[in-house]
Amino acid sequence: MIYKILNKLDSNKPFNQVSAHCDIPCKIYDPISAQLAVLTMIRMVDLLNELQRSVNFHLEQQATFNRLVGEKEIHGKKVKEEISIIWGDYFKHPQLEAYPELHGLTHEIMLATSFAKQHINRDKTVLLLEKVNQFSEIFWRSKGIPVYRAKSPYPPSEVLVYPDLKA
Amino acid sequence: MAPFIPSESYIIVAKWLIIFPIKKGQRLIINHSKYGLIIKTVAVVDKNGFVWSRGESKGSITIEEIGPVEKRQILGRVISVFKPEVY
């Protein structure tokens, strides 16, 4: 009630404004960063599996192996960070009520990302992508924007959820 | 994690409270030369009397970026926060 009174006063005679959370409340959120991070993890798994099939595993292959594992790890952390930011900062009470599965899905993504980081397992990483796609779909639907699914035009050519901005 | 002071919140600020010593954990309104009017939480008051402050969010500007703030830049202390209903 006090908020409503203050809001009424503010609309009649605007108060001074100060910046707090984030300092730049840019309102720019997009799950594509998380989706691309999972795509990168899948690509790293594919390249690691190719490396495993190499007859020789000399110093150069060892260096490549380290780099691929390192990149998979970095992008795994990125998935968790991007999903956490949207879940914690973008979604508000009305959207959480409209999509009650969101909390459970976010937790599943965290667990699936940990597994994908710890292992070189393509099937499980693709399963992670599907969960992140579901998250993306909820995000766009919460904005009233329809979505469609299409294969990414670059390796590993997996299906991503995209917003249909022309609709 | 929801921000402590979300967007569209109203805050009550007491200007007179700054006559008392500034302590760690207090939320202050700062008139910053670069960032303008900002709310920050006191991290430390150094031996020269400068106030080093931090934001509450991972996305906040850092203590180093804010830099030391003089007492004359502090406009008041936050005593109440009224958040919009969705919080």
- Which ipTM was obtained for this model? 0.73
Instruction: Give the H/E segment covering residue A11.
Output: helix A2-12
**Strands B36-45 and A147-151, bridge-based pairing:** unpaired
Q: How confident is the model at residue B36 (pLDDT cuts 50, 70, 90)?
A: confident
**What's the CA gap between A78 and B30, in Å, rounded?**
33
Burial A135-150 (b: 16+ CB within 10 A, else e): bbbbbbebeeeebeee
Q: Any idea which architecture B10-82 has in CATH?
A: Roll (2.30)
Three-state DSSP at B6 gives coil
**Stretch 62-121 of chain A: residues touching chain B, C-beta under 8 Å:** 85, 88-89, 92-94
- Contact A42/A122 with Cβ under 8 angstroms? yes
pTM value is 0.61
Which residues of chain B have a CB within 8 Å of the CB of A24?
A: 59
Domain boundaries, chain B: 10-82
Q: Is the pLDDT of residue B1 over 50?
A: no
pLDDT at position A26 over 70:
no
pLDDT above 90 coverage of chain A, percent: 64
β partners of residue B32: B36
Angle between helix A122-142 and helix A102-118 axes, rounded to 10 deg: 150
Residue A61: how many CA atoms within 13 Å on its side-chain side? 12
Report residue A38's pLDDT band, with 50, 70 and 90 as the boundaries. Answer: very high
**Comparing A23-27, A31-35, A128-132, B51-55, which segment has the lowest mean pLDDT?**
A23-27
Does any CB of chain B come closer than 8 Å to the CB of residue A9? no
Query: Helix (H, G, I), strand (E, B), or coil: what is residue A53?
Result: coil
B-interface mutation test, from A4, A9, A23, most B Cβ less than 10 A away: A23
CATH superfamily name and code, A26-163: Nickel-containing superoxide dismutase (1.20.120.400)
In contact, A114 and A107? CB cutoff 8 Å: no
Question: Any idea what DSSP says for residue B20?
Answer: S
Q: Distance of CA A50 to CAs A76, A116, A120, Å?
A: 20, 18, 12
Q: What is the pLDDT of residue A23?
A: 45
Residue A139 makes CB contacts below 8 A (sequence gap 6+) with A29, A31, A86, A90
Tens digits of residue pLDDT in A124-139: 999 999 999 999 999 9
Reduce the DSSP state of residue B7 to 3 states and report it: coil
B59 pLDDT band (50/70/90 cuts)? low
Q: Do the chains contact at A18 and B38, CB–CB below 8 Å?
A: yes
Task: Tell me if B3 and A93 make a contact (CB, 8 A cut-off).
Answer: no
Select the residue of B35, B82, B86 nearest A23 (Cβ to Cβ).
Answer: B35
Which of A19-23, A140-144, B9-13 has the weakest average pLDDT? Answer: A19-23
